[in-house]
Amino acid sequence: MATKVYELIAPCHFGLEAVLKKEILDLGYEISQVEDGKVTFLGDAEAICRANIFLRTTERILLKVGSFKATTFEELFQGTKSLPWEEYIPQDGRFWVKKANSIKSKLFSPSDIQSIMKKAMVDRMKQGYGVSVIPETGADYPVRVSLYKDIVTVALDTTGESLHKRGYRKMTSKAPIEETLAAALIMLTPWNKDRILVDPFCGSGTFPIEAAMMAANMAPGMNRSFLSENWKQIIPRKCWYEAMDEAHEMVDDTVSVDIQGYDLDPEVIKAARANAELAGVAHMIHFQQRPVAELSHPKKYGFLITNPPYGERIEDKKNLPALYTQIGDRFKALDSWSAFIITSYEDVEKYMGRKADKNRKIYNGMMKTYFYQFLGPKPPRRKPEAAPKNQDREQ
């Protein structure tokens, strides 16, 4: 029997599509489309498991059921009803339209879209199974739908709770950065496990923990569960076991790294340590209560990767010039280092006293942020080990 290939949709933060695309290609899957905020790729049941467990930068994995054009609610009803729901949802499956979003489309009321599509799905399922009642007592099949320029794209959510919930962050600080976003930002830098990484505003520890997980080759989803583990008619249990085994076999948490996280607040540092413990990387990170004014490191060619306080409240905004002046001073004192800063503050370069080599716009939810990249020199290549001299030559 030929393996069934699905179209899988992976949403991500706007501006980070290229990072996610590379991750999917590295997993070995073919990309069919890249659009704003999402990457679509082709894969079988095993791909659903592996994408959920291994991808660091997507929010969830959606299984596309179909798409059609609809400018009226009648067209929406008929279009939804024409999809082969019985091939995806078992007779006792519990299904509902969990989320509907609409951009530049005639139909825009989420609650109307949701209730009309649910009715159409029930009609189709009754017809498909030849029954008069759909019990909805079985596994969950939440549907997500997006309307863009009147094209309706309908998909099942295989993930459940968003993938940024890795299962390690029990304690959060104010305005934490999402794990998926932190991972994508680290991937945008040339950092690798042989280089130093310091986050002087580490908060609940997300940047250091994500970096340590990358260094140890830990799949981000290996300590959590997924909604579609119960979809036995689409994904055999064996696929989940094999993908989890693959994830566990790849881990090497004995690698030596220099990853550090500082914060001014002792409670926050305590929380970051607890999170790192849960993630299984506490032994790889040095957390310390330390103000940014005391930021220093004896070695060269390190990386600052950080998400400083945004100053969302007006009184905090007043402190930002002094804060960035301080970051700039400490950065200058770090010989040959690079700095990568995500913030919504637009005057970073002015107060750091240096123009960024690159600046990238990234949407963190609805907030426009900037990823300022101050690049230091590359470290010299290590000289290859000298070959032993021939013994018969004169020493």
**Model confidence pLDDT, tens digit, residues 202-233:** 999 999 999 999 999 999 999 999 999 999 99
Q: Which domain holds residue 91?
A: 6-157
Residue 387 confidence (pLDDT) above 70: no
pLDDT (tens digit per residue) in 121-132: 999 999 999 999
Average pLDDT over every residue of 16-22:
97
Residue 394 confidence (pLDDT) above 50: no
Beta strands in 276-378 (DSSP E): 285-289, 303-306, 338-343, 358-364, 367-374
* Long-range pairs, 273-276, Cβ under 8 A, ≥24: 273/205, 274/170, 274/171, 275/168, 275/169, 275/170, 275/171, 275/204, 275/205, 275/209, 276/168, 276/205, 276/208, 276/209, 276/212
In a shared domain, residues 194 and 312: yes
Structural domain contains residue 231: no
In a shared domain, residues 117 and 41: yes
pLDDT (tens digit per residue) in 48-61: 999 999 999 999 99
Token readout for 262 is 């500082």
Token readout for 282 is 């506490």
pLDDT (tens digit per residue) in 261-320: 999 999 999 999 999 999 999 999 999 999 999 999 999 999 999 999 876 665 577 889
Q: How many domains does the chain have?
A: 2
Task: Note the pLDDT of residue 391.
Answer: 45
In a shared domain, residues 30 and 133: yes
Structural domain contains residue 385: no
Q: How far apart are the first and last CA of the chain?
A: 69
Strand order in the sheet with 30-35: 30-35, 38-43, 6-11, 62-69, 151-157, 140-148, 94-103
Percent of the chain with pLDDT over 90: 88
Token readout for 276 is 């790192």
Residue 315: give its domain's CATH number: 3.40.50.150
Residue 21 confidence (pLDDT) above 50: yes
**Average pLDDT score, the chain:** 93
The larger pLDDT score, comparing residue 385 to residue 375, is at 375
Task: Note the pLDDT of residue 309.
Answer: 84
Residue 47: give its domain's CATH number: 3.30.2130.30
Average pLDDT over every residue of 99-114:
96
CA distance 323 to 325: 5
Report DSSP state, residue 60. -
Residue 176 confidence (pLDDT) above 50: yes
Average pLDDT over every residue of 107-117:
97
Task: Note the pLDDT of residue 316.
Answer: 72
- Give the number of other Cβ atoms within 10 Å of residue 74's Cβ: 10
Structural domain contains residue 19: yes
In a shared domain, residues 66 and 199: no
Residue 117 confidence (pLDDT) above 70: yes
In a shared domain, residues 295 and 363: yes
DSSP 220-275: TTTTS--GGGG-TTTS-HHHHHHHHHHHHHH--TT----EEEEES-HHHHHHHHHH
Task: Note the pLDDT of residue 381.
Answer: 83
